Amino acid sequence: MLNAATTPFHQINYYGSCAAALVYNRRRMGAKLDRVIAALQRRLARETDDALRRGMHFPPGWDPFFAEYMRLEDVYRYPGRHFDFHAAQLSFT
């Protein structure tokens, strides 16, 4: 079902990002990112090995880093991989 929603997902993701840019300027986004990363680090430190091995199915057409099945460990790694991918796209070096 999620794979069937790939096209609307991409449209919502794009237009949502455009709208968010009107609210989150560079300064506000940096502070928000710092808070989110800190919260993720606190949560990750509390996860058990069993929890990190649990997983679920994902719609791989939504993102190049989604796999058919992802464990929680994979989900925690996803934001960094996604960021590095876009940072490389924007790099001129």
Q: 66: domain range?
A: 3-90
> What is the DSSP-derived secondary structure letter of residue 70?
E
CA–CA separation, 1 and 17 (whole Å): 24
Q: What would the pLDDT profile of 4-19 be if each residue is shown by its tens digit?
A: 888 888 899 889 888 8
- pTM value? 0.72
Is residue 92 over pLDDT 80? no
Work out the mean pLDDT of the chain and round it to a whole number.
90
Model pLDDT, residue 37: 92
The set of residues, in sequence order, having a beta carbon less than 8 Å from that of 84 and lying 6+ positions away, is none
Q: How many domains does the chain have?
A: 1
